Amino acid sequence: MKKTDAIAMLLAGGQGTRLEDLTQHNAKPGVMFGGKYRIIDFSLSNCFHSEIYTVGVMTQYRPLLLNRYISNGNAWALDKVNQGAYILPPYSDWYRGTADAVYQNFEFIDMYDPEYVVILSGDHIYQMNYRPMIQEAREKDADLMICVRRVPWEETFRFGIMNTDADFKITEFQEKPKEAKSNLASMGIYVFKWSVLKEALEKDHQNPESTKDFGHDVIPTLLEEGKKLYAYTFDGYWRDVGTVESYYQANMDLLDTRDDLDLTSERLRVFSNNENRDPHFVGEKSSIYNSLIADGCYINGRVSRSVLAHDVVVEEGAVIEDAIIFGNVTVKSGAIIRRAIVADDVTVLSNESVGTKDGKITLHVGGGQS
């Protein structure tokens, strides 16, 4: 097969336990976002905009729905000749960590023999063209380029932190430090020379004390060996939707018409693999304010500052405020939903109250993920 300059390896096997029941029947990257999207749409769309048309998607936890959704990548225009999105489940043993997941797929990467391998996570919300990062890695002859962004100092304990010199060459890596020396946080986006990545993961595989993780094991080892690691700064919108609160807030950010989060922009449009659905219907007694309404919805009640996925029915007299409603939900007359996330296939009964006006986000769960 003809050598390519870059392919992407997309980590999409995480369970996402902190999202609680939202991942009961689906992998975290397959969870609905913004009514008509899935979380993984962002990374796949970014690959298209970066002209990276070969994407290995490493799945593990609850993979069926995600595998069906991704198919061959045609929804993101990745299905070129001898290219596309490829589902890569574990061969014999479960993936033991992020590094092990890539190690188990060496044969897939070798088929393309790329100059660079771009490692991505399938559970982050952001829009990015990876090409400038690849180009900078080439110009600096970097063995590894790590994408970073500045975070508030009080949040540095949550991230892998990069300490760099004036040229952004990484001099030290701190994994979730109690006292950080920098606020440059890793975004989990790596551009590796394939030759360097292959050697590093082979060594890591032979190390019985390794946890098989890029941040905990591979990156510190590369620094100890004197490899050339550089930081690449990103200042656009980015959010790790690892908790119910952060997932809720990212959806609400869509309603703020932010310049740094525009899913329909021509430059970095986000694509999805939606089936063709009926148009939505808005009745004469409805009231809708600052909300996203997906296909197939039937609205006769009041919807305010909320995100509704496909085929949601809101009957007359029902009220939805500051909420996220998954697909195939029916909200009966007189029901009230406030500051809540309602999962697929739920019926909220007449005069039932879900959530609170203030306080913690409420999860209202029933049935399976669609």
Which residues make up each annotated binding site? 95, 160, 175-176, 186
Binding residues for alpha-D-glucose 1-phosphate, by number, are: 95, 160, 175-176, 186
The distance of Cα 151 from the centroid of its chain, to the nearest Å, equals: 18
Helical (H) or strand (E) element with 69:
helix 64-70
> Residue type at 230?
Y
- Tokens linked to 167: 């040229």
Contact 113, 121 (CB under 8 A): no
**How is 239-271 classified by DSSP, letter by letter?**
EE--SHHHHHHHHHHGGGT-TT--TT-SSSPPP
10 Å Cβ neighbour count for 161?
22
**How is 125-167 classified by DSSP, letter by letter?**
EE----HHHHHHHHHTT-SEEEEEEE--GGGGGGSEEEEE-TT
Contact 145, 232 (CB under 8 A): yes
10 Å Cβ neighbour count for 340?
23
List beta partners, residue 37. Answer: 33
The rounded distance, in Å, linking the Cα atoms of 195 and 324 is 45
- Tokens linked to 6: 């870059």
List beta partners, residue 148. Answer: 186, 233
Pairing of strands 184-193, 116-121: antiparallel
Distances (CA, A) of 65 to 38, 51, 84: 11, 26, 18
The rounded distance, in Å, linking the Cα atoms of 335 and 108 is 51
List beta partners, residue 32. Answer: 38
Q: Which residue do the tokens 């391998």 mark?
A: 117
Nearest 5°: phi and psi at 84?
A: 140, -170
- Tokens linked to 174: 């701190």
- Tokens linked to 108: 């897939």
> Residue type at 111?
M
